[in-house]
Structure 1
Amino acid sequence: MTAAASDKFWNNGAVCGRCFVVRCTGAAYGGGGNPCTGGSVTVKTVDNCASSDGDTSTIDLSREAFAKIANLDAGVVKVTYNPTYVHFLNLPHRREVKKDISKYITST
């Protein structure tokens, strides 16, 4: 599964190809209950994405990856992420800049 990183986190491509374990920690904006599934997902960073406030920790997950950690209806959640050394083979790389990304995690 793949993810995109915000510009500062992307660091001119320095994190391209790196893998992270991502876990949902709660609702981004409060209220509405806990959207987290309790699971985690390992993603490979393959692209960068815009961040509305320049936050260094924005990660934009693929829809499939987001569904592993949170209810898709939440759209945006708070997360923790840690680097891992798992390598994904044969993943296609694509470059696509996403717009209207918040400082939290989003599904695409």
Structure 2
Amino acid sequence: MAPIHQSCSFLLITFMITIIGKPPLVAGIFRPSQWTLAHATFYGDETASATMGGACGYGNLFLNGYGTDTAALSSTLFNNGYACGTCYQIKCVQASACYGNVPYTTVTATNLCPPNWSEASDNGGWCNPPRTHFDMAKPAFMKIAQWKAGIVPVMYRRVPCVRRGGLRFSFQGNGYWLLVYLMNVGGGGDVSKMWVKGSRTGWISMSHNWGASYQAFATLRGQALSFRVTSYTTRETITAWNVAPANWAAGLTYSTPVNFH
């Protein structure tokens, strides 16, 4: 089993998968939410270079499958990072800058829009709590409204994330501290819990670090690694066996062929 470098195409690594729980409540169907009023701005330019990285830790959004259809969430929506990877349909409403022939665009949450307490919530401090606000990548914003408007009222709703390919586990840390960024999550798009199992250990609970990252303080060097992941939204749990080989290394990303629905 070969690791996947960030600069290369992702190679699927064969593994076994188990769905835990009973449908529809635990591993059930995630349906779109009701439309709700919010506002949206944009950051960066047409290249979306300013959106790379971000509080969720997804790194290069082009290489990792998110592209330019992304948004930073106000802290009210960000939920201390548990909203990383969630997907939203957004449509511009009640403004002359809206493109009336565009029903909506779909974005993934990849970043945090922090409060700006030096500005009023209705005049510059758009992401101040308790406001629900989307600071969109400029290319995504330009799909629904004229960018010169700066800020527009929008309607939004949570929708299931449709992802191609499987879950992607990006490793950092060392043989005694493993930090994993989980990317390309389908279904609810989010993660509430993770566990890791070495080939010589039992299941070890991983603590939430920040954004889409989870960590384990354990001696895992030289062991093949399996993971168990629970969705924050649907509570569906996936067990992925032998995701990374015994010679796994920090700085590499490993992929699995299946995903949440």
1:5 aligns with 2:59: no
SS in 2 for 1:22: strand
The structure with higher relative contact order (CA 8 Å, sep 6+) is 1
Normalising to structure 2: TM-score of the pair?
0.31
1:71 aligns with 2:139: no
Report the CA distance between 1:58 and its aligned residue.
0.7
1:42 aligns with 2:106: yes
User: For residue 153 of structure 2, what is the amino acid of its counterpart?
Assistant: K
Report the CA distance between 1:88 and its aligned residue.
4.3
- 2:29 maps to which residue? none
What is the rounded CA distance, in whole Å, between the counterparts of 1:3 and 1:62 in structure 2? Answer: 6
How many pairs are equivalent?
87
1:24–1:81 CA distance, 2 compared to 1 (3 A)? same
Normalising to structure 1: TM-score of the pair?
0.71
1:17 aligns with 2:92: no
1:87 aligns with 2:87: no
1:57 aligns with 2:125: no
CA deviation map 1:67-95 (0-9, x unaligned): 01001110100001111113345889xx9
SS in 2 for 1:10: helix
What is the rounded CA distance, in whole Å, between the counterparts of 2:163 and 2:135 in structure 1? Answer: 18
SS in 1 for 2:152: strand
What is the rounded CA distance, in whole Å, between the counterparts of 1:55 and 1:21 in structure 2? Answer: 21
What is the rounded CA distance, in whole Å, between the counterparts of 2:94 and 2:163 in structure 1? Answer: 28
What is the rounded CA distance, in whole Å, between the counterparts of 1:87 and 1:56 in structure 2? Answer: 27
Report the CA distance between 1:66 and its aligned residue.
0.4
SS in 2 for 1:73: helix
What is the rounded CA distance, in whole Å, between the counterparts of 1:62 and 1:55 in structure 2? Answer: 22
User: For residue 7 of structure 1, what is the amino acid of its counterpart?
Assistant: S
Report the CA distance between 1:15 and its aligned residue.
1.1
Q: Answer whether contact 1:8 1:55 (CA < 8 A) is retained.
A: yes
Contiguous gaps of at least 5 residues in structure 1: 28-33, 96-108
What is the rounded CA distance, in whole Å, between the counterparts of 2:140 and 2:97 in structure 1? Answer: 14
Tell me how large the CA RMSD over aligned residues is. Answer: 2.2
Q: Answer whether contact 1:24 1:36 (CA < 8 A) is retained.
A: yes
Report the CA distance between 1:14 and its aligned residue.
1.7
Q: For the pair shown, which has the larger CA radius of gyration, 1 or 2?
A: 2
Report the CA distance between 1:56 and its aligned residue.
3.3
